[in-house]
Each structure stands twice: as structure tokens, then as C-alpha cells.
Chains A and B, each alone.
Chain A
Amino acid sequence: MTTRDDLPDPLPRKWLPESPVPPEEDAEYWEGRLRTLMAEATPALAAHRTVPRRSISWLDALGARWRMATAGAFALAASAVVALVLSGEHAGAPDPRAVVLGAVVGEGEPAALWEGAGVAADPTLAILALENAAQRTGGER
């Protein structure tokens, strides 16, 4: 390691090669160099002004991909929901009478009709349905 204190003296100036770079004080030279550079740089600067800056952030790029992926997922989910709804419509609701009879046969008493899926839950109708079912069962026998 070296420190400021043990840095050797510079070589004598008279030994060193002449620099091809003019000193800072040569203002005329440096102004001329600057003018030349600015003239050369003009087209590139104009191009930067006309072309909108591209996003170079990886986060932005990832965000764009996520937006695309999310939109796709929503479209897929929406299609699935529509398909389910349509298939449900085609399947139709169960016949209320079948529910009533099923409930009566299964539970063995009219009160169970109240548990049927929204059928006209009238105890009188339920009794009639029960009797009707009993007659049909007996008739089959």
C-alpha cells in the first residue's frame, strides 16, 4: 500500500514527453474544438428530440407483460363463466313435482315438502301429492 507521504517525487518536467493536448488556457483552441463537435453532434441531438424515449426499465417491461397476462386470464375466466351459465340454462330447473314426490317418498311426511327447492309449499297440496303418489304406487302393484 502507498500513502500520500511515500509517493515518489514526479519525474522532472524536462524528461517528460510533450503532451499533444493544448493547455486549458488556450481558449481559442478549445472553443474551436467545441464548435466542431457541436456541428457534428447536431443530427444526433435532433434524432433524440424526435424519437420518444424508450423505456429501458426491466420493471416497466415486466409490467407490460403482466398487463397482457392479466388481460388474458380475465378473458379466459369470463369465457368460462359464460359457458357455465349457458350450460345451466340448457340443463333447466328440476321439475317441482318431482321434487315434491321425491321429498315425500324420502322423508315420509308432508312437512318435508317445506324443505323442497322452492316448490309451492302448501301442506294441502303436499297431502294431495302424497295421496296421489300412494295411489300410483298401489296401482302399480
Chain B
Amino acid sequence: MGPSQETKGDVEDGAGGPPDGVLARRVQEGDREAFELLARRYLRPVHAVAASFLRERADVEDAAQETFLRALESIRTFDARRPFAPWLYQIARNVARNRLKWQSRHRAASVTAVEESVADQGSSPASGVERAELRRLLAVAIDDLPEQRRTAFRLADVEGYTPTEVARLMGLTAGAVRAHLYHARRRLRARLAPLLTENDEEDPRKTR
């Protein structure tokens, strides 16, 4: 499942390997090769899901690793007639969310605190905020999105997956993913609007 591939249903990778359900059934019997194929297929998407909750690469890697090992532990509870990707996504989401809860006590400033610090500088936000600060503020604003919306936004707009790919991974319809993207983009623009100059917004990417 690459960022540029369009995939449908319970499918195979770009090279056209066996469907997920077939591989999952083989993994249930302890087939190492089947597990490796599934892991290769979903390694980056699982990292991307973890990255929608966690910021540090080491945390993302640990969460992704734990996700696959937990999936392997409970693979016999998986009904191979159902789509594999959303099942794996739920495990990744739970693992990452638990890690985030553990880290939440040490979390950095909230959006409000950042905005207050900008106001304290005595200049208009538009002129006072450096690009790095803008990006930091946007990262915090993204974190404040509702979970499913944030995940859809990060997978599509940060990680580069198509809405169809995001839908397949999250077990949603493509329309639902587009709705999440619609609201996320609008909300983030609204949050950042007071901090932007006309020159800040340039070269927007094409809508997918």
C-alpha cells in the first residue's frame, strides 16, 4: 500500500500478491512467509497511523512493532472473511493511543499557551510568528482535531495516502474520509488565519 497506489477492498500490494485474507489464514497456521508479506504490505501504513498520535520516530517505531506483535498474538481471533486492514488499524490505534496517554503528562504547550506567548510579543501575530513557529502551532492544532479526523488528515495530507487508501485502512468509505479532510482543512485554516500574511499561503498542492 504505497502513497500513490489506488487499492480496493481486501487487496494485495502493488505487485499483486495474495489477498490479505489468504495471508491471514496462513499466518493463523504459523506461516512465516505469509506474515512477512503482510508485514511488508502494512509496515509503512502502521507507522503512519502511529505517527498520527506520536511525534518521535522512536515512539512511532516502538508502537508499530508492538502493533504487529499484538496482531500476531491475536491472529486466531481474526475472521479471515473480513477486511484485514481495519482490524490491524484498530490495533495500531489502540497501541498508539495508550502510549500517548502515558506520555500525555509530559506533553508540551497547548494551542492556547502558544497563542498567548505570541500575543505577549507585542506585535501582530502575522508579522511576529516565524515559519517554524507556524509549523509548531499547526502541529498542535492538528493534535486538537477529533481523533478520527486527525488520523484521516495526517494519513492523507502529511503521509501522502489517497483518500481511497485511507478509507480502506481505517475501514471507512471514501466519502467519509473526504468529509473528514474537508472539516480538518477548514478548521486548521481558520485556526491559523490570524497568524498568516498574504505571502504565507502560496503554492497550495492540488486537491486530490
What is A's interface to B at a CB cutoff of 8 Å?
Answer: 1-4, 6-17, 19-21, 23-24, 30, 33-34, 36-38, 40-42, 44-50, 53-54, 56
List of 4 A-B pairs having minimum Cβ-Cβ separation, nearest first:
A49-B30, A48-B30, A20-B57, A17-B139
Listed A/B pairs (17) with beta-carbon separation below 8 Å: A2-B179, A7-B181, A8-B182, A11-B204, A15-B192, A15-B200, A17-B55, A17-B142, A20-B51, A20-B60, A21-B44, A33-B61, A37-B68, A38-B35, A44-B73, A48-B72, A49-B30
Beyond A4-B178, A36-B65, A38-B36, whether A10 also contacts B142 by CB under 8 A is no
Residues in chain B near residue A50, CB distance under 8 A: 30
Quick one: which of B27, B138, B179 contacts A48, CB cutoff 8 A? B27
Q: Decide: B29 and A37 in contact? CB cutoff 8 A.
A: no
| Residue of A with least CB distance to B60 | A20
Residues in chain B near residue A8, CB distance under 8 A: 182, 185-186, 189, 207
Q: Decide: A13 and B39 in contact? CB cutoff 8 A.
A: no
Residues in chain A near residue B200, CB distance under 8 A: 12, 15
Residues in chain B near residue A49, CB distance under 8 A: 29-30
In this complex, the member of B31, B35, B138, B142 whose beta carbon has the largest number of chain A beta carbons within 10 angstroms is B35
| Bound CA–CA A44/B72 (angstroms) | 7
Q: Decide: B77 and A40 in contact? CB cutoff 8 A.
A: no
CB distance from B59 to the nearest CB of A (A): 8
Total interface residues in chain B, CB < 8 Å: 62
Residues in chain A near residue B154, CB distance under 8 A: 19
| Bound CA–CA A77/B175 (angstroms) | 62
CB distance from A115 to the nearest CB of B (A): 70
| Bound CA–CA A40/B62 (angstroms) | 12
CB distance from A12 to the nearest CB of B (A): 6
Residues in chain A near residue B188, CB distance under 8 A: 11
| Bound CA–CA A23/B2 (angstroms) | 10
| Bound CA–CA A52/B49 (angstroms) | 33
Q: Decide: A56 and B76 in contact? CB cutoff 8 A.
A: yes
In this complex, the member of A9, A36, A42, A56 whose beta carbon has the largest number of chain B beta carbons within 10 angstroms is A9
Q: Decide: A20 and B44 in contact? CB cutoff 8 A.
A: no
Residues in chain B near residue A36, CB distance under 8 A: 65
In this complex, the member of A7, A11, A21, A44 whose beta carbon has the largest number of chain B beta carbons within 10 angstroms is A21
Quick one: which of B32, B64, B205 contacts A12, CB cutoff 8 A? B205
